[in-house]
Every structure is written in C-alpha cells, then in structure tokens.
Structure 1
C-alpha cells in the first residue's frame, strides 16, 4: 500500500483536510477555484466509485485521460489511480496509443482526438468553473459531471495485493527531487509549461505540498500572486 498512488493522495490530505490543497487560476477567463483536501477527496472518491461500481473496473483496467491540467482533471486522474487503473495521459503520439482502453475522459473540444482511441465507456467534460453539466453532450459520450455526482462520497482503496503503482511511485519520488519540491511547499505551477501530471500533481502531492495551478499565466500578475498565495516555490 505504501507504493499506491491512493496512499500518496490520502497522506497529502491527512496533513490538514481543511487547508487549501489545490487552487486553480485561469488568467484568460479570470477563474479562481479553491479546493480543500477534503473537497478534492470527495471528487476523487466519486470518480473512483463511478469506475468501480458503475463500470466494474479495477486493477488491470486502463483509462485514457485526454484532459489538460485542471482541478477536474486532478479529480479524474486521482480517481483512476485510486481505482487501480493504468492511466494513459494526453499527449501520447498516435503511434504510441493502445488499441483500446476501458474508459476515456476528454473535453468537448477533444472529442475528435478521442476518435483515435477505442473505449468501452466515454465521458466528456466541460471544465466549467462551477462544475456545471454540459449544455449538449456529444454523441457516444456521457457527461462526467452529471454521472459522477450520483456516486458515493467515500472510496475504500484496495488493500495490499490490489493496484501496484510501485514503478510510478518511484518516478514520482525522483521527479519531486528533480524539481526541488520540499515537504510542505506552497507550489505555484505554470501548467501550460508543465502539462505532465507528474509535475503539476503527483510530485507535489508526494511531499504534501499544496498547489497553485495557473493556466494562461499573466506574468504581470505573477509576483502579486506569489505573495497573495504565500508561494514558497514556483515552476514557471
């Protein structure tokens, strides 16, 4: 269980479930969303329960997560890892993509890209600031936000002998050291320059850092944001 990604997330939340664990900015839209550890854990649990209870997935299953960095993307990724799935992230060359996955998540704008994958179940996300449902659901997809809300707020991760993320956990630990992220950091990340979830999500969580994720970062606002958010380390 020590090498399970679900444990990495659980340990990060346990430090203080009520502290802001993930703060999301999009300077192109003015959006700011702040999630405590408890709130993000609720979204992660609902996602894992959707995968396990509704889709009957678990260790050995695969998910294509074709989503840009976002707080909802964090919930999907962590939910997939909590359920024991192997995650295929966005950005893989077509030649490197598997012929089929069990479940796929994408944005409305990414539906065309998703056609390169074969998936039994497909979910689309609007990535709306207030997590509102899609106004129009693409054909062949379900609305993630609508579907996930019906599931339980708690998820019991698999015991030892369930999902084995040993190799991924080793990569996470190495990457945290490479990026100079320290325990307890308040980390600001320019997600357009750091789109790999290893950088903007897993490596920080592995040392119980809290996250300030910035899309379309306005450099003129950077110094003020670092001060306001009490940032201790930046990846820009």
Structure 2
C-alpha cells in the first residue's frame, strides 16, 4: 500500500505529464480551467517551496486548510503533502493556514504562524485588497521555484489518507486511464475528487454547483468514464 502522497502524485503524471489531469468547472461562475499534470505539478512545487523556504515548515508540522474544492485547493493540498505536512480543517494551532477570503473571520479563530488568503480567481489573479493579517497566496507563490524534491517519507497522515483513497477508487471502479466526473458540491472530500483518482492513475472533471441538465453533455465532451454525483 502506498504511504507517500507526493510519490502517488508523481507516479500518476509520469506516463504523460501533458494530458489533462484536473479539469475544473463552476457552473455558478461559468468557469472552466484545465490543468495538465505538468501544470498542476508546477503549482504544487511552488506551494511546497513556499512552505519550506518562506514559512520554514518541517515534516509533520500542521497546516490548516479552509478552502472549498477548487483547482487551486488541489495545488495547496498537494503542496502541503509534498512538504510532508499534516493537513487539518478543525481549529487548532498550526504552522501555516490557507483560507478562502469568505472564511477569513473563521480563520481568525485559529492560532497560526503564517496566513495565506485565496480569492480563488478563475485566472489566478492577485487580490486587489488582501484581508488584514494575511498574505495573498497567488502573489506569494509565483516567486517560488517550479521544482521541489519531495521528502522520501510522507507526512504522518499520508498512509491513512491513501488507504481511504484506494478503497474509494475500488468502490468507484476506477482504473488507469479512466476519467471521473464528480460533483464536488455534493462530494467535497478531497479523497473523492482528488486522491481517489490519483491513486488509480485516473483523471478528474470536478464540477462545482453543477447544472444537472449540463452534466450529460459535459460527460460526453470530456469523455468521462465514471460519474460521482
């Protein structure tokens, strides 16, 4: 059984880094963003480098993530796991905290060494107004390196997360080369929309606030093989 999320991610994109790995839709905003494995890996590396070089994190420290499903959330989560951090979403002391701008008040109840805010802009544009006490994640992460050498051992929670993901992939019948369309509004757990496909070496079409009548055509256009709605 795999016990290192960074290694699972690297293996998932190794055969063809150019293929679409994560395609993101938000029917509430009309957004569509497609990331190849190479593009997502670039964001993940920048995030991990920010954590290690700027924040100064060490393996098994805690990262708080108060973010909804989103392609930028995938980069944050995989960056944290690449830096061997343990990701939590319940209040407590953490080394670093990533928060959506609409959850800044909730984030204020956390004890955190560094705080990064995400507007989750469709084009990953910097924020014009950054919440007090936070740093704009997009502006901060862009200055970091495009490559990161993950730790040989994963974080303390990697094995349990990957065990859940492998079980979920089996339940969904995912296999290498499959493509999963998932309603992330109903299934916000990253095990469903991120880790299960990665463990199976499948790709994902993640849909927020999906319009039900749009899904059949989207499944055909995106050539999905499995659906989780």
TM-score by length of 1: 0.93
Give the Å deviation of 1:2.
Answer: 4.3
Alpha-carbon distance in 2 for matches of 1:198, 1:163: 16
Query: Given that residues 15 and 208 in structure 1 are in contact (C-alpha distance below 8 angstroms), is that contact kept between their aligned partners in structure 2?
Result: no
Partner of 2:60: 60
Q: Per-residue displacement from partner, 1:101-132 (whole Å, max 9, x unpaired)?
A: 11000111110111221101000001001000
Give the Å deviation of 1:200.
Answer: 0.6
Task: Give the counterpart of 2:118 among 125, 136, 140.
Answer: 125
Task: Give the counterpart of 2:206 among 200, 213, 221.
Answer: 213
Alpha-carbon distance in 2 for matches of 1:87, 1:7: 17
Task: Give the counterpart of 2:225 among 211, 220, 232.
Answer: 232
Alpha-carbon distance in 2 for matches of 1:152, 1:68: 25
Q: Which blocks of at least 5 consecutive residues in structure 2 are unaligned?
A: none
Q: Per-residue displacement from partner, 1:13-48 (whole Å, max 9, x unpaired)?
A: 112100000100011111110000000000000000
Alpha-carbon distance in 2 for matches of 1:24, 1:159: 30
Give the Å deviation of 1:166.
Answer: 2.0
TM-score by length of 2: 0.96
| 1:158-197 map, 5 Å | 158-160=151-153, 163-164=155-156, 165-197=158-190
Partner of 1:83: 83
Alpha-carbon distance in 2 for matches of 1:217, 1:10: 29
Alpha-carbon distance in 2 for matches of 1:19, 1:7: 18
Partner of 2:97: 104
Partner of 1:72: 72
Give the Å deviation of 1:218.
Answer: 0.6
The runs of 4+ residues in structure 1 deviating greater than 4 Å are none
Q: Secondary structure of the equivalent of 2:88?
A: strand
The number of equivalent residue pairs is 228
Query: Given that residues 161 and 191 in structure 2 are in contact (C-alpha distance below 8 angstroms), is that contact kept between their aligned partners in structure 1?
Result: no
Alpha-carbon distance in 2 for matches of 1:20, 1:78: 17
Task: Say what the alpha-carbon RMSD is for the aligned residues.
Answer: 1.3
Q: Secondary structure of the equivalent of 1:226?
A: helix
Query: Given that residues 86 and 155 in structure 2 are in contact (C-alpha distance below 8 angstroms), is that contact kept between their aligned partners in structure 1?
Result: no
